[in-house]
Chain A
Amino acid sequence: MTGSTFAAALGAERRKTTGARVVATTTVLLVAGVALLAGALTMAATHGNQQVLDQLGPLSNRTGWPLLTGVVAQVTAAAAVLGFGVALGWMFGREFTDGTITGLFALPVSRTTIAAAKIAVYLLWALAVATLLTVLLGVVGLALRLGPLTGDVLAALARQHVLTCLSAVVALPTAWAATLGRGPLPGIATAVGLIVIAQVMVVGGTGAWFPVAAPALWALRPDAVSPVQLTLVATIPLVLLPVLLTTWHRLQLDR
């Protein structure tokens, strides 16, 4: 992988991603959808809507900014992994279902470089989504008159930003599943599977020791998750990325 071939691959993936309806739709859903949903639930709980309060569980005792940031963390825990997983699974799987994969062979830009560029563009996009969501949450909170932006509020919003970014990291296995399954659907199924497994593991008592669940638990209760548990999230890209790049290097059009 040379600098010029990576720049060419990065430019191509950036163009494909910015022009894609799937990515644009996912961006709107993850930013405006999550922020508006969290804002609506916060407003309903603040006005004493019993149905919403029952659904919020332990969060129903909170008020103001802690209620909004708690609700959005709970929503993001599942929605961000699903949203990022759909987009990433599509970014890799569409090459097979659209037939463009044949055009990615016999190029001066290797398939390993193309896969690395896809991941780089995906992570940059996820960072942008996380930033937009955090800013919009601040606007929603101020619009709902939840109080001033104190240090604690800013810290909670920063945790939300980190949670969204880590959700994108957690969704990385969808790229490998879409590659092995030769289409977006295996990637989407993997995203759903990750969410379900995380729920089961938490209920089963592993708590934050399961890397997929750690970011959301940390965003909801920072004191309940140790730095070691949160650091374990890094094992996902450390294991997954070499496997993904090797799979693209060895790829054959044999099925």
Chain B
Amino acid sequence: MADHRLAAHRLARRFSATAGVFGVDLHVAAGEIHALVGLNGAGKTTLMRLLLGMLQPDAGTAMINGLDIRTAGPRIWSTVGHLVDAPLAYRDLDTRANLALAARLHGVPRRHTDYTVDDVIAELDLHHYRDIRARHLSQGNLRRVGLAAALQHDPTVIVLDEPTNALDPAGVILLREALLRRAAAGAGILVSSHHLDEVARVADRITVLNHGTVIGALDPAGIDIERSFFALVHTHDQTRLPT
């Protein structure tokens, strides 16, 4: 348990009979990149929101670095970085101001803010956009700023929902390298994605979610994981059909 950066135990949140998350068990170990894949509406974002305290569960618990998030204080939350839905970037502020603001909110001391921001600007190649207001950034560059805000304080728990959405190929490679570096340093990383080939490149484990439940796992080193994915989903859908 102590090795788990992130864990869900029988986590459930029901929106309707068919929508929500229904008793999910999942964990992310230190140094591991764990990918969550599933069709639209499978419950990936809901699960991430439950793990981050954005939603209250109907049942089950979410744990971060071994602690129930209901009792987690500032020390535990300062170890978390996430990008779920929109980036933490304010339209009227430039990239540098947005990153400085995010760094402070993530617990980076004021005296360390400048070099924290400089480092992540270099890491994600945001030099050209450092003085550009968020309202003038492309969707891809805005995504990069959001990822920088989530990663710059070197969190040990990282949760990213569809992080490669809108990124150009160069951005995808930069993100992949940034995640691999952090995993090598001991971070536990949970990412969701529709891109199975991209997931296979970085993930140590791939969990498949369908209709709010975990239905199996894929081998990242497998030869045809797309076929395996659809086979799992199809089999699960067949078991749900009314008789």
Using a CB–CB distance below 8 Å, which chain A residues touch chain B?
Answer: 2, 5, 8-9, 11-12, 15-16, 19-21, 98-100, 102-110, 252-254
The stretch from B46-54, B166-174, B197-205 touching chain A is: B46-54
Chain B residues near A2 (CB-CB < 8 A): 74
Chain A residues near B49 (CB-CB < 8 A): 253
* Residue among A98, A100, A109, A110 facing the most chain B CB atoms (10 A cut-off): A100
24 contacts between A and B (CB under 8 A): A11-B104, A15-B93, A16-B90, A16-B93, A19-B90, A19-B92, A99-B87, A100-B87, A102-B85, A102-B86, A103-B87, A103-B146, A104-B88, A104-B105, A106-B77, A107-B105, A107-B107, A108-B73, A108-B78, A108-B105, A109-B105, A110-B74, A252-B56, A254-B55
Chain B residue at minimum C-beta to C-beta distance from A5: B74
- B232 in the interface (beta carbon within 8 A): no
Q: Do A100 and B78 touch across chains, with their CB atoms under 8 A apart?
A: no
Count of A-B residue pairs with CB < 8 Å: 87
Q: Do B55 and A253 touch across chains, with their CB atoms under 8 A apart?
A: yes
- B91 in the interface (beta carbon within 8 A): yes
Chain A residues near B80 (CB-CB < 8 A): 106-107
Q: Do B86 and A253 touch across chains, with their CB atoms under 8 A apart?
A: no
Interface residues of B in 68-85 (CB under 8 A from A): 73-75, 77-78, 80, 82-85
Q: Do A20 and B92 touch across chains, with their CB atoms under 8 A apart?
A: yes
Chain B residue at minimum C-beta to C-beta distance from A100: B88
Q: Do A252 and B107 touch across chains, with their CB atoms under 8 A apart?
A: no
Chain A residues near B78 (CB-CB < 8 A): 108
Chain A residues near B83 (CB-CB < 8 A): 103
Chain B residues near A102 (CB-CB < 8 A): 54, 84-86, 88
Q: Do B91 and A12 touch across chains, with their CB atoms under 8 A apart?
A: no
Chain A residues near B56 (CB-CB < 8 A): 252
Contact of A252 among B54, B101, B102, B104 (CB under 8 A): B54
- B126 in the interface (beta carbon within 8 A): no
- B89 in the interface (beta carbon within 8 A): yes
Chain B residue at minimum C-beta to C-beta distance from A23: B92
- B67 in the interface (beta carbon within 8 A): no
- B30 in the interface (beta carbon within 8 A): no
CA distance A5 to B101 in the complex (A): 13
State how many angstroms separate the Cβ of A183 from the closest Cβ of chain B. Answer: 14
State how many angstroms separate the Cβ of A37 from the closest Cβ of chain B. Answer: 27
CA distance A174 to B35 in the complex (A): 41
Q: Do B85 and A15 touch across chains, with their CB atoms under 8 A apart?
A: no
A103 with B88, Cβ < 8 A, contacts A15-B93, A252-B54 known = yes
- B5 in the interface (beta carbon within 8 A): no
Chain B residues near A20 (CB-CB < 8 A): 92
Q: Do B54 and A106 touch across chains, with their CB atoms under 8 A apart?
A: yes
Interface residues of B in 191-211 (CB under 8 A from A): none
- B149 in the interface (beta carbon within 8 A): yes
- B106 in the interface (beta carbon within 8 A): yes
State how many angstroms separate the Cβ of B59 from the closest Cβ of chain A. Answer: 15
CA distance A5 to B78 in the complex (A): 11
Q: Do A100 and B92 touch across chains, with their CB atoms under 8 A apart?
A: no
Chain B residues near A99 (CB-CB < 8 A): 85-87
Chain B residues near A16 (CB-CB < 8 A): 90, 92-93, 101
Chain B residues near A110 (CB-CB < 8 A): 74
Interface residues of B in 95-112 (CB under 8 A from A): 97, 100-102, 104-107, 110
Chain A residues near B102 (CB-CB < 8 A): 103
State how many angstroms separate the Cβ of B191 from the closest Cβ of chain A. Answer: 16
